Amino acid sequence: MSVMSRPAPRLVIVVPCYNEEEVFSSCLTELRNSIKEMVQDNLIKKDSFLLFVDDGSCDQTWRCIREACAEGECIQGVKLSRNEGHQAALLAGLHVAGQHSDAVVSIDADLQDDVQAIRRMVKAYCAGYDVVYGVRDSRQTDTWFKRTTAEGFYHLMALMGVKQKFNHADYRLLSSRALKALLNYNERNIYIRGLIPLIGFPSLEVRYDRGVRIAGESKYPLRKMLALALEGITSMTVAPLRLIASLGFLICILSLLAILYILLIKITGHTIAGWSSVVLSIFFMGGVQMLSLGIIGEYIGKIYLETKHRPRFHIESVMENGAEK
């Protein structure tokens, strides 16, 4: 796959924020310094900026963003009308950033992803790559439970047939044409990590060590991780439906064998009266049916939401050049 070199881009760093008041000042300082250093080194254009997206926070996150926008020339803000979730907030930021940029980097506000990797992403962009994945090379700073469940999440997604980069979350660089291609996906139930590989275009991995969250609590506990996995699986693959079909076929084969066995012992006169096998089979089949109906219902629910064509987010206000719109 051939790539062509590019000039320094106008870069926008998109930062989704939900109740990040405790970490905002540190995040702002780190990213603003990174922008200034890259401008000084002629890696990016002088009009590059940070774009913070407030995902309906309950704390003072939006106030912090407004104050930062009023004080800094390279800072802009977007406020969603309500909490829509990380993926929708990120998509909202990408929509706004795509109107003003040559390349976009997305990163979480907790700064567990190494900010210094942005320089390598920009250099990869200048070398001609359209998608640059930030891949976690080490997660030793995470707890055993967090590390195990996170890696289990990626293995589960791969098992279900979802094509995504292992240990890659939402830390990446997209060129303007890659971003435009991503925004052409109009589904309501979005899983951006799974959509990016579908875009194609030349891509590269940038590896880094995951750091420690500097303050506050993780916005992705086990409950949200499971919800994200369900969203990713049901929006990216029909593997669970095929699993149900395979399970039904297997049960039919076992049932046929059981019928032959019952007929055999009936003919030979070795029938033993008992209710255990009957009760167990009823409970087993009942459980399989309920599970199957639940999975099918989840897909039907997704279809129901998609057919409504409701907007994925509403922007309440935008901070640009120190003024709120």
- Answer yes or no: is 284 within a domain: yes
Same domain for 187 and 68: yes
Same domain for 245 and 98: no
Same domain for 252 and 203: no
The answer to whether 158 and 166 have CB atoms below 8 angstroms apart is: yes
**CATH code of the domain in which 146 resides:** 3.90.550.10
> Which run of H or of E encompasses 27?
helix 21-40
- Answer yes or no: is 1 within a domain: no
Return the amino acid letter for 86: H
The answer to whether 86 and 8 have CB atoms below 8 angstroms apart is: no
Same domain for 110 and 50: yes
Which domain covers residue 62, as residue numbers?
11-151+164-219+311-324
Same domain for 133 and 81: yes
- Answer yes or no: is 268 within a domain: yes
- Answer yes or no: is 144 within a domain: yes
- Answer yes or no: is 25 within a domain: yes
- Answer yes or no: is 97 within a domain: yes
pLDDT in 10s for each residue of the chain, 325 residues: 555 678 888 899 999 988 888 888 888 888 988 889 898 988 888 888 999 999 888 888 888 888 888 887 788 888 988 888 888 888 888 988 888 888 999 988 888 888 888 999 999 998 889 999 988 876 666 667 777 777 777 777 777 777 777 777 788 899 988 999 888 888 777 778 878 888 888 888 888 877 666 555 655 666 666 776 677 676 666 667 777 777 777 776 776 676 666 666 666 666 556 555 665 566 666 667 767 776 777 777 777 666 767 777 778 877 776 666 6
Same domain for 44 and 144: yes
- Answer yes or no: is 4 within a domain: no
Same domain for 176 and 64: yes
- Give the start-end residues of each E strand in 25-112: 49-54, 75-80, 103-106
Same domain for 290 and 198: no
Nearest one of 184, 144, 256, 204 to 3, comparing CA atoms: 204
End-to-end CA distance of the chain: 43
pLDDT of residue 51: 92
Same domain for 181 and 98: yes
Same domain for 128 and 66: yes
Same domain for 286 and 141: no
pLDDT of residue 238: 63
Same domain for 215 and 140: yes
Nearest one of 171, 41, 180, 34 to 102, comparing CA atoms: 180
- Answer yes or no: is 159 within a domain: no
3-state helix, strand, coil in the chain (%, to 5): 50, 15, 35
How many domains, in total, are found in the chain?
2
